[in-house]
Structure 1
Amino acid sequence: MKLTILGGGGFRVPLVYGALLTDRAEGRVTRVVLHDLDAGRLSAVTRVLAEQAAGVPDAPEVTATTDLDEALRGADFVFSAIRVGGLQGRAHDERVALAEGVLGQETVGAGGIAYGLRTVPVAVEIARRVARLAPGAWVINFTNPAGLVTEAMSRHLGDRVIGICDSPVGLGRRIARVLGVRDPGEAFVDYVGLNHLGWVRGLRVAGRDELPRLLADPGLLGSFEEGKLFGADWLRSLGAVPNEYLHYYYFNRETVRAYQEAEQTRGAFLHDQQARFYAAVRDPGAPALSLWNDTRAEREATYMAENRESAGAGERDEDDLSGGYEKVALALMRAIARDERTTLILNVRNRHTLDVLDTDAVIEVPCLVDAGGAHPVTVDPLPGHATGLVCAVKAVEREVLAAAGSGSRATAVKAFALHPLVDSVTVARRLVDGYCQVHPGLAYLR
């Protein structure tokens, strides 16, 4: 089976390959094609993968190419993990927003809109090429903003594109661990929302909802990441546990202030950190895998550091530094390729799951996955406060898609102005001006 990874020179690709190396079952991936526009990054990642595969019998063959059509032909699965504008673009997203006193995070608020505006046209072109060159392939979208990009691609690929994110998986795993669930795989996580905008409303084990026990115990609530971030009182008020990215909404002023006071934005930190890694791996004698492991450990330990600082949450627990999106991707591929039925939290078209959104809106919910793809399960309606936020952010996503499709600068301004974390049309106009100045990829906006 052939797997093509778009953005194959990306730093997190070895996580995916490491997961593939553990798969010994029939029908596994035997060939991996890495595609990237940067040949130097491709070479660096290929070296890391070669060291990962050392001593592993029948490790998947790895090839690399800068030719997109060559990479796509004959693919059974396509992972889209591109970053349009690179980490320098992410750093620009953060700085332009923070200069206006609003959030520049890559998937939330002004930064997420800017990232979406320059990513959607590229993602749409990829979807069209997949439909033409590999019509039987399944596309698994890693590219942020994951829900928005998945929806853009679904307009050309239908249900054959599925978005994934490790945040809901990690959240469910942490809740299960705190509640003493021995095997998190036995728990059903009642999670619903949009990507980076969802809530765990229940965790059922053997038919019993264990979440009320967590919400009633201040000690348990204060013992894991989200409890430290949001505080026990707020979680009890919500009657749910939010995805960690909702900290940007519930504590926006504190978070923006922390980001403004930080010595370096997250994007700038990652840009410098990864530049050092790729430069070091250019040395033929350098231990590529060891360098990658060290860089990754630092990356994970500093994840959402500003949010934790503003909340007084302290350092991340060691158990939370293991990532997980590669495991979701592998489980998704297995379920489809082998009809190994499973339940995963994924980004898929709504169909009739949430009646406040139309059928084509991409949402993030538990799905039953089999050879026919991912099928969202029936969920209870969202409470009013969550419904308002989900509908508002989905409306913004639709304006981003409209702006990307039409090239309308006015529609781009509308997208920024309507976002709950951008509270001014005047600021929205300045944001569009600022982003167009630093991003050549937004020159299409007129």
Structure 2
Amino acid sequence: MKLTVVGGGSTYTPELVDGFARLRDTLPVQELVLVDPAADRLELVGGLARRIFAKQGHTGRVVTTSDLDAAVDGADAVLLQLRVGGQAARERDETWPLECGCVGQETTGAGGLAKALRTVPVVLDIAERVRRANPGAWIIDFTNPVGIVTRALLGAGHRAVGLCNVAIGLQRKFAALLGVAPADVHLDHVGLNHLTWETGVRLGGPEGEDVLPRLLAEHGEAVAADLRLPPPLLDRLGVVPSYYLRYYYAHDEVVDELRTKPSRAAEVAAMERQLLEMYGDPALDEKPGLLAGRGGAYYSEAAVDLAAALLGGEGSPYQVVNTYNRGTLPFLPDDAVIEVPAAVGAKGATPLPVAAVDPLYAGLMASVTAYEDLALDAALRGGRERVFRALLAHPLVGQYAYAEQLTDRLIAHNRAHLAWA
């Protein structure tokens, strides 16, 4: 089995490699190819990847290259974890929206739109090259904004599934609070990527006992603290929103916070410099503890599980993924990309039935889906007016004066990555 990681020079990659090494019985990788245009970073990451494999007794081969076509040739699955424009672009995404009084964040709001506009054309070019090299290969997208990127891939006819680590992270936290094994926790997870709610927490499987009321009663303060939301709000909602919902539920509070502290991009850039220095140490043969602060917790386990199921291996039959709606949520179009539990196998992902969704959440999902429609149109066809329309439609923007200012700033800061600008 050959797996290719596009963006293999990312400091995330050792987390992924650690999962491949530990879970080799679930996903028996014979060749792991890390591809990245940044040769200096790639060699540091690749060296550590080889040492991790060796320490854990994995017999697979780790290959590093900057040649994308060679990297995807014959690949059974291709994982996308690229960042067009690097951390410098992320820093801008998190900064210029604040000038207009809007949340500055790399996956939602105006910053998320900028990332989508930079990313979608690049990902579609990569996917076409994967299709030419091996039409049967699966593409697993971890590149944000996952919902928009996955929708672009599926709309172009690619064999693609989107993946996010929010659900698996919550599963692990809930399992620890409840004192059970993570495999025993099944989430009633519903929404769009980075716009999700846990409406049930079931023990033993999709039909198991719902212990969410007990979880909130006994551990509501701990859950709320993780989300940085007040416990009474969780009591009133009766569900657990993802931490991204704080951008909606406490928008002005978040804007005030972001204006008074260093950006997350600056923190990550500093952490990456430390990590790359550590990766260059020939004595290091495991992922360092510092990597946990980089983000992407449990990404490796989710990725292994998904790839194994898609490739006919021993992956879990039910996983939370991003895929076409296909009537699962009747208030959204069939071709909307939703994030829900799905049955995953060699033919792809099929969403499991979802109970009726409270209008409080359904309305926001519908609004953000409309924005994603417009965002994808802007990413595929370009043009200032399409950017403006997407921003005006986003619930975190919504006012024409803000949309005008943000459109000008978005184009000015991303001109080098927008073929039409």
- Whether the TM-score (by the shorter chain) exceeds 0.5 is yes
- Are the aligned partners of 1:131 and 1:157 in contact in 2 as well (CA < 8 Å)? no
Residue in 2 aligned with 1:239? 238
Residue in 2 aligned with 1:202? 200
Residue in 2 aligned with 1:211? 212
SS of 1:116 mapped into structure 2:
helix
SS of 1:62 mapped into structure 2:
strand
In 1, the alpha carbon distance for the partners of 2:292 and 2:23 equals: 24
- Are the aligned partners of 1:100 and 1:427 in contact in 2 as well (CA < 8 Å)? yes
Residue in 1 aligned with 2:386? 411
| C-alpha deviation, 1:373, in angstroms | 1.9
Consecutive unaligned residues of structure 1, counting only runs of 5 or more, are 301-321
Report Cα offsets for 1:338-358 as digits up to 9, x if no partner.
Answer: 353521111111112111111
In 2, the alpha carbon distance for the partners of 1:108 and 1:35 equals: 27
Cα separation, partners in 2 of 1:27 and 1:345, compared to 1, 3 Å: closer
In 2, the alpha carbon distance for the partners of 1:334 and 1:19 equals: 12
| C-alpha deviation, 1:277, in angstroms | 3.7
In 1, the alpha carbon distance for the partners of 2:278 and 2:306 equals: 34
Residue in 1 aligned with 2:350? 375
Q: 2:297 aligns with which of 311, 323, 339?
A: 323
- Are the aligned partners of 1:131 and 1:156 in contact in 2 as well (CA < 8 Å)? no
- Please give the residue correspondences for 1:45-60 in structure 2 after superposition, counting only pairs within 5 Å: 45-60=45-60
Residue in 2 aligned with 1:308? none
SS of 1:365 mapped into structure 2:
strand
Q: 1:269 aligns with which of 253, 267, 270?
A: 267
> In the alignment, residue 191 of structure 2 is paired with which amino acid?
G
Report Cα offsets for 1:102-140 as digits up to 9, x if no partner.
Answer: 111111211111111111111111122222222110111
- Please give the residue correspondences for 1:271-420 in structure 2 after superposition, counting only pairs within 5 Å: 271-278=269-276, 287=283, 293-299=288-294, 323-340=297-314, 341-420=316-395
Question: Looking at both structures, which has the greater relative contact order when contacts are Cα pairs under 8 Å and sequence separation is at least 6?
Answer: 2
Cα separation, partners in 2 of 1:114 and 1:24, compared to 1, 3 Å: closer
Report Cα offsets for 1:247-298 as digits up to 9, x if no partner.
Answer: 1111111111111000x1001221233134436656xx665557x6154144
In 2, the alpha carbon distance for the partners of 1:61 and 1:42 equals: 15
Residue in 2 aligned with 1:137? 137
- Are the aligned partners of 2:392 and 2:398 in contact in 1 as well (CA < 8 Å)? yes
Cα separation, partners in 2 of 1:7 and 1:26, compared to 1, 3 Å: closer
In 1, the alpha carbon distance for the partners of 2:276 and 2:258 equals: 26
Report Cα offsets for 1:394-443 as digits up to 9, x if no partner.
Answer: 11111111111111210111111111111322222222221222223443
Residue in 2 aligned with 1:187? 185
> In the alignment, residue 5 of structure 2 is paired with which amino acid?
I
Cα separation, partners in 2 of 1:210 and 1:276, compared to 1, 3 Å: closer
Residue in 1 aligned with 2:408? 433
- Are the aligned partners of 1:344 and 1:368 in contact in 2 as well (CA < 8 Å)? yes
In 1, the alpha carbon distance for the partners of 2:252 and 2:219 equals: 27
Residue in 1 aligned with 2:91? 91
Residue in 2 aligned with 1:146? 146
Report Cα offsets for 1:294-348 as digits up to 9, x if no partner.
Answer: 5414435xxxxxxxxxxxxxxxxxxxxx811110110112222235352111111
Report Cα offsets for 1:60-90 as digits up to 9, x if no partner.
Answer: 2111111111111100010011100101100
In 2, the alpha carbon distance for the partners of 1:170 and 1:442 equals: 32
Cα separation, partners in 2 of 1:183 and 1:297, compared to 1, 3 Å: closer
Report Cα offsets for 1:145-198 as digits up to 9, x if no partner.
Answer: 11111111111234x201111111111332233233x22312321110001101
Consecutive unaligned residues of structure 2, counting only runs of 5 or more, are none
Residue in 1 aligned with 2:177? 178
- Please give the residue correspondences for 1:23-62 in structure 2 after superposition, counting only pairs within 5 Å: 23-25=23-25, 28-62=28-62
Cα separation, partners in 2 of 1:287 and 1:428, compared to 1, 3 Å: farther
Cα RMSD (Å): 2.0
SS of 2:140 mapped into structure 1:
strand
SS of 1:360 mapped into structure 2:
coil
> In the alignment, residue 212 of structure 2 is paired with which amino acid?
L
In 2, the alpha carbon distance for the partners of 1:325 and 1:112 equals: 20
In 2, the alpha carbon distance for the partners of 1:41 and 1:24 equals: 25
Cα separation, partners in 2 of 1:117 and 1:26, compared to 1, 3 Å: closer
SS of 1:423 mapped into structure 2:
coil
